[in-house]
Structure formats: structure tokens, C-alpha cells
Amino acid sequence: MSSRIAAGWRKLSAVEQEATQTAVLQCLARAESRALLRAVTALANVVAQSSVLQLPWDGLLPALEEAARSPVANHREAAMDLLGQLTDSLGLRLQPHYPALQVSVMSPSSPLPPGFPQGEATVSGSTTTTAVVRV
């Protein structure tokens, strides 16, 4: 699926790409079921990979921060999942954003999803970076 999306992405105009990015973020904000959120985070990761060289996705990190601060546990979990996927797939391309991500997404005011262990927990199993959050 991801290779089809990536191949089709290049055929879209800039307006269509931006509309798609907006629709994905709206779905991320509105979805409530865990299964749907998992699918949307996977889609968001593929769109981010596809758009990284052509059309910067300026709304992605603010949406990630909003989801991480959501009162809805499934949204917070989706934010952590997407962050892990992005660090795995985009790696060092995200490096300029690491300080902002640490402050906004991993701030002490961001409650963890239920089921996260107490103490320090590794959120991302990324080979590029590991995000550690406080509990």
C-alpha cells in the first residue's frame, strides 16, 4: 500500500497534495477508535515520507503536539506511535525538529497513554533516535 501511495503522490498537484495532508490531519484529530488511529498514523507516515522532498508538511508537527496533549488517551497513544514511525522513516531529516519535539510532545504536561510503565519508558524503538519520556 505504501508504495502505491508514494507512486501516486508524485502525480498529484501541489494543491492536491496539500488537500490530502489536511484531510489526513483532520482524520487524525477526529478519529476515536484505536484501529482507525493506527491506520491513520500509518497513512500519515507514508504521506510524510512522500512529501518530505516536495512539499513540506508544516501542519504535521503542530498536529502531533495537539494529539500528544489530547485528553483522549487513544489520541495520545497515536501521537507517540506516529512519532516513532516518523523517526524510523525520516530519521535525521527530523533532527532540526528534535528540540521542539522534546519540549512540546514530551513535556511533563503530556500525560502518557494507559498501560505505559511507570518510570522512564522508551516510546520509540527507532534505530535513529529514542524518545524517552518522564512519568
- 36-64 confidence digits (pLDDT tens): 999 999 999 999 988 877 777 888 888 88
Whether this prediction's pTM lies above 0.85 is answered by: no
Question: For the chain, what are the domain ranges?
Answer: 2-133
- Per-residue pLDDT at 65 exceeds 50: yes
Alpha-carbon span 111 to 95, nearest angstrom: 24
Look up residue 25 and give its three cell numbers. 490531519
Phi and psi at 109, nearest 5°, equal -80, -5
Which positions ≥6 away from 41 have C-beta within 8 Å?
A: 28, 78, 81, 82, 85
Q: Which of 50, 38, 66 is nearest to 6 (CA)?
A: 50
Residue 7's Cβ-side half-sphere holds a number of Cα atoms within 13 Å equal to 4
Q: What is the pLDDT of residue 132?
A: 38
